[in-house]
Structure formats: structure tokens, C-alpha cells
Amino acid sequence: MFSKFIKRPVLSIVVSTIILFIGILSIQQLPISQLPDIAPTTVNIFIAYPGSSADVLVKSTLIPLEAALNGVQGMRYIVSDATSAGEATIQVVFEPGTDPNQAVVNVKTRVDQVMPLLPELVQREGVIITPIQPSMLMYVNLYSTDKNADEKFLYNYAYTRMIPEIQRINGIARAQILGSRIFAMRVWLKPDRMRAYNVSAEEVMTAMQEQSLLARPGRLGQASGKSPQSLEYVLVYQDRFNKPEQYENIIIRANEKGELLLLKDIADVELGSEFFDIYSNLDGYPAASIVLKQNVGSNASKVIEDVKKKLKELKADFPPGMDYKISYDVSQFLDASIEQVLHTLRDAFILVTLVVFLFLGDWRSTLVPAIAVPISLVGSFFFMKMFGLSINLVTLFALVLAIGIVVDDAIVVVEAVHAKMEEEHLSPLNAVKKVLSEIGGAIIAISLVMIAVFIPVTFMTGPVGVFYRQFSITMASSILLSAVVALTLTPVLSAMILKNNHGKPAKKTPINWFLEKFNKGFEKLTGRYVGVLNKIVSRRLVTFGVLLAFVIGIILEVKSLPAGFVPNEDQGTIYAIIRTPPGSTLERTNEVAHKLQKLCEEIEDVESVTALAGYEIMTEGRGSNAGTCLINLK
């Protein structure tokens, strides 16, 4: 069967070119991550109930939703969180491997069943259901050195100018500004004046709702089919109020004498923030902290690259003194890690090529495996794409190890061709034909045995199984392709490139002199090794004693080495979690965060410090006694 490729060398080259081409295409489409995705599928439900306390939010909304979601297909557990800012989140965690889209459909079906039971305001504000990656993708601070720009201005600038643009980037699941500083009209009621006029807060709310509204009065002069109208008028009504003066003139009460009780008579009105639940600053400057999370299955590096491009575009329109800083970027450490592994992959390939040249002693013979190995490695990316893997440290590490394995098939073919040319004085083409008929079955058998070692590992379950599955599929696919290349392209290259120089005197060059000295030294070393074996082979006690010593050494080494799921690696970021005593005000927590920020800025190796009061970034929990300092190292 494989002799056809010798007769049709173009076919062999085309097959290898196709393998190389689809491998390169797969590289461009594969997602890039630091490690395989072992996080279970998570569906996030965001609920807004403005004006409610955490207790009211739990009793009115979270309990009905959790009761409906409990037992949804594939669910592992539910995590919920309610804040005094009138916001709540429910995270439904599913079994690993669950389809995110199907999980969203199942969750939405359960939520729709209890939606009529939720408060009217919750239904109007909306219950947002999204599949997200639980880990943070980026943390961006929008800050300003202008003294007139406070957190309220920065928040609303980011909310209106930046968030809509970032949300449209493919792969962004959620772009959230910490806190809620949206512009809102704040009405400060005066209890003494209200008591004097016998006015309740509910009466004030009713008056505001009735007078600040979007209305549709209709039209005058509309055709009626009876008598023609000279003109037609579209009636318009004043829009919702957006200035403090308009709210101040809202009529709370009126009588038949024309006496009016206005809102300004019982309250002070000002334009402020909807809530003051989180304080945020960067290196002492007020900031709006933006947290980005990616969609499940998206390419983190590509998403971050698109976000950075968009931020540069938006920066051109920033007011004077305003700028942004990326305080956390998962791609920084990811790119550095991937780059190091790629350097290792490159160095391993160079070393393998040098070793092959050293032992084969011919640059033509070295060129054959040097061409065959990259085809096997690049082609394995197609299998990674087909099985839904990603380019990560585990799969790249598998390719590093695969270099030493896939090169064996090419070396076996080249060495066998040289043996035939030397022993039977055949031309390279005839030698290749004879070798292929003799060792073709052996190459297939060896490859299948090695693949069989890795196949069972792919069926391991759990988070550990995810790691081993990606490793085993990468190894098995590269070994399979190396066998295909060894039986198709390698024989053709051997027939085209190799020359029968056996029996001819070698040219006297520095390289040939070095190779001759190396071969003599290697033969002496081999002779000494054989001599040692001859002495030990008849002494079983020594043999088993050495084996036992190695076994004991391995056991002791395993016990002394630290164990862990994944290695601990320094990403250049320190999270300082702040907890003030229960009942502490947000201002007190903010003061503690400022003190810690100043202490950190005195350290030479600290690049920047982001201080948050009212938010804990690790658990995404909120509270007046919670805070975080995000410390970036140089």
C-alpha cells in the first residue's frame, strides 16, 4: 500500500502539505489559555431591586428563584449573594463538561416559571441570565488627575462612553463598573416640614411619578372621514424631569383657593449618585473600576487584545486629565508562560536535530527528520481543534515531549535505508523500496502500541482528567501523524535527498574530523558499558540490590517533594483583603484602605495600588466593612 507513495512522490508531498496547512489553520483558530479549562460551567443571574435591603431582596426574590432553580438538570450547587445596594447575584454551578448554551436554556426555563411571583419592580428592571467564566479577565481603572472630576463623573463617563463599546466586543460576557454611581436626582425630605404639612413619603412618591413621566397626548386635526381639517397637530408633553429646579416645582398638594405645596417646601433636591456603596481610587486619584469577564470558550488573548485596541480608540476622546490603567490582565502572565514554553519547544527541536546529526553524521540524513518532525507537530493542532482543546501549557508541554518520540520513526527509516545501501550497495530509491516493505509493519505496530498507552488516559473524569485528557490527545495525535509521515513523506525524502557514499573516502573537513573522534569515543564508551554488563549479568544479587536502591530512593523522594494540583506561580499581583469590625461605616473602611494604600506606595517594588471600600474582589462580596487593595508589582 505505502509503496504507491514511492511511485507517486508528488502525492506524498501533497498529503504532508495538507497536514501542515490544516495544522496552521487550526493554530489560528484555537483558543489560548494558561491551563485547560477545569472550571465547571457557571450560569450567572443578576437581579436588581432598587431601594430594597438585602433581607427584603432575599425574602422576595432570591428564595423563590433558588427554589425554582434547585434540581435543574446537571446542577451541582447554587451560590447567591444579596447586597444593601438592591442588587443580587445567583450563580448556578453545573457539572464539568455541561454545554453552556443548554445550561442557560434550562436556567431560563426555571426562572420564567416564577417570574410572575417576583416583585413588579424586579420584573421591570429585569433578571439578566448569562453564562460566564467565574474568573476575572481584566481589571481596568478609569481615573483622572483633574480635581473637578470625582468618582460620580468618572462612573457615568465610563457607563455611557466606555461600557457600551466594550460590551460589543466579541467574547465579553460582562463589563461591570463596581458600585452604582449613576446620575440620579436625590430628594432629601425634611421630617419636621412634612409633619407640619401632614405629608407622607408615599404622597411625595405618587406626585413625582404622576408629574415626571413620558406621555403621549395624541394628535389634533387627524383625518376622521367626515369633514376636512385645515391643519394637523402632534401634541407633545414635557419629558421626564432632569433638573433639580423641575423637581423642586412638583406640586405635592393643592386646594380650591389656589394654594400650592411644592416639593421644595418640604425637601431639598440635588443631582447626585444613585448609591454610595463603593469607594474606588488608584494611587490616590478617584477612579471608576471596571471588571471584565469573558464568555465560555472564548479566546482570552484575542478578547484582551480587542479590548486594549478599543481602549486606545476611546482614549482619544478623553477629557483633559483623564486616563486609564489596566491593573490586572490575565494575558500578561499567560503570554509570558506561553513564550517560555515556545522557547523550550524551539530549543528542544534544535537539540534533537543536533543529536541526530551527531549520530547519523550526515547533513542529508539529518534534513529528513528535521522536515518530518515539524509536520507531525503542527498537524497535531488539527486534532486539538477537533477534540475541543486549547493551546495551553499542558498541550505545549506534550508537544515538547513528543519531539523526542516522533523523531524516532524518521530516524528508523533513514537508518534502515543507510544499512541497505551499505550492505547491498543499492541506490537510495531501491533501498527505500526494500526498507519500506520490511519495516512498514514494524512502524505501524510501534506507533499503535505507544498510542494505546495514552488512549485510556482520555477517559479519566474530573478536573484531573481534563489535564490528562489534553496531554494524552496531543501526544497520541502527534505519534499517529509521525507514523503517517514516516510511511509517506520520509521514504520520498530519503530517495530524493540521500546519497550512497558508503565505501567512499570521506572528505577531510573539521566537521568530519570531529564526527570521527566522537564515533571513536562513543565506541570506547559502549565497549566499557558492555564490559560492566558482562560482569554484573551473572551476579543477580548486585542487580536486584541496585534495583531495590532505586525503588527506595524514588519512594523517599516522592514523600519529600511537595504535592499540589497545579504549580504556584507568581503573577505579579497581591490581593490585600480588608475586614473592618461588623457595623463599620463605608467611610471608616475607606479610611483603612487609604492607609494601606499609602503604606504600599512607600515600597520601591510596588508599581500601583487600587483601593476599594465596600467590595471584596476575591469573593465578589459587598458590604460596608469589606475592602480590597489590588497591589501591582513592577
> How are the residues of the chain apportioned to helix, strand and coil, as percentages rounded to the nearest 5?
55, 20, 25
**pLDDT of amino acid 512:** 75
The top-level CATH class assigned to 184-216+236-273 is alpha beta
For the chain, which residues score pLDDT lower than 50?
none
* Domain 40-132 matches domain 573-633 at the CATH topology level: yes
Strands (E), 51-137: 75-82, 87-94, 127-131
- pLDDT value of position 134: 60
82, 51 Cβ separation under 8 angstroms: no
Query: Which of 401, 402, 377, 370 is CA-nearest to residue 490?
Result: 370
Q: What does the alpha-carbon distance between residue 94 and residue 39 come to, in Å, rounded to a whole number?
A: 10
Supply the DSSP string of 328-352, one letter for each residue: EEHHHHHHHHHHHHHHHHHHHHHHH
Reported residue count of the chain is: 634
Q: Which residue, 587, 584, 581, 579, is CA-closest to 621?
A: 579
Q: Which H or E element spans position 115?
A: none
Q: Enter the C-alpha cell of residue 556.
A: 523517599
CATH code given to domain 40-132: 3.30.70.1430
Name the class of domain 3-30+362-501. Answer: mainly alpha
Which CATH number is associated with domain 573-633?
3.30.70.1430
Q: Which DSSP letter does residue 92 get?
A: E
Buried b (16+ CB within 10 A) or exposed e, 340-358: ebeeebeebbeebbeebbe
Contact status, residue 247 vs residue 185, Cβ threshold 8 Å: yes
What are the structural domain ranges in the chain? Answer: 3-30+362-501, 40-132, 184-216+236-273, 517-559, 573-633
pLDDT at residue number 2 = 61
* pLDDT tens, position by position, 488-512: 888 888 888 877 766 566 667 777 7
| N-term to C-term CA, the chain | 61
Long-range contacts of 26-29 (CB under 8 A, 24+ apart): 26/381, 26/382, 26/384, 26/385, 27/378, 27/381, 27/391, 29/385
193: which residues sit within 8 A by CB, 6+ positions away? 265, 266, 267
**Ordered DSSP codes for 569-609:** ---SEEEEEEEPPTT--HHHHHHHHHHHHHHHHTSTTEEEE
- How buried is 630 (Cβ within 10 angstroms: 0-12 exposed, 13-18 middle, 19+ buried)? buried
**pLDDT tens-digit readout, 183-215:** 788 888 888 888 888 888 888 888 888 888 777
Name the one residue in this structure whose C-alpha cell is 450560569.
43
Tell me if 84 sits within 8 A of 626, measured CB to CB. Answer: no
Centroid of chain to Cα 487: 39
d(CA 396, CA 393): 5
